[in-house]
Amino acid sequence: MKKMLAVVPVLLFVCVSAHAQAQGPKPCEELKAEIVKKLEAKNVKSYSLEIVPKDQEVTDGKVVGTCGGGTKKIIYRRTSTPPPAPSPAAPAPKP
């Protein structure tokens, strides 16, 4: 019975990892679109997402995902706040 209890977690791990590998690597544009949806759902404004090679150093920004079978990463960067909406034009004087 003890041997069986020791084997069950190993079998579960093998099944889960096999399932993850069967799905294959996620295409970068698909993952980027999913991240955009999540950011929009949280009402995040003024950001950029960039797909870069995995070996590129990131000095400004945060890695928010990897794609392309681990060959690329997606970088999130905050941008400056959007400019305020322009005020409506003053009405022209009547002649």
Which of these, 48, 46, 49, lies nearest to 84 by C-alpha position? Answer: 46
Can you give the pLDDT at residue 29? 95
d(CA 67, CA 70): 5
More confident residue, 75 or 5: 75
Can you give the pLDDT at residue 17? 45
Can you give the pLDDT at residue 23? 64
Can you give the pLDDT at residue 8? 42
* Res. 57 pLDDT band, cuts 50 70 90: very high
Ranges assigned E (strand) in 18-95: 47-53, 62-67, 72-78
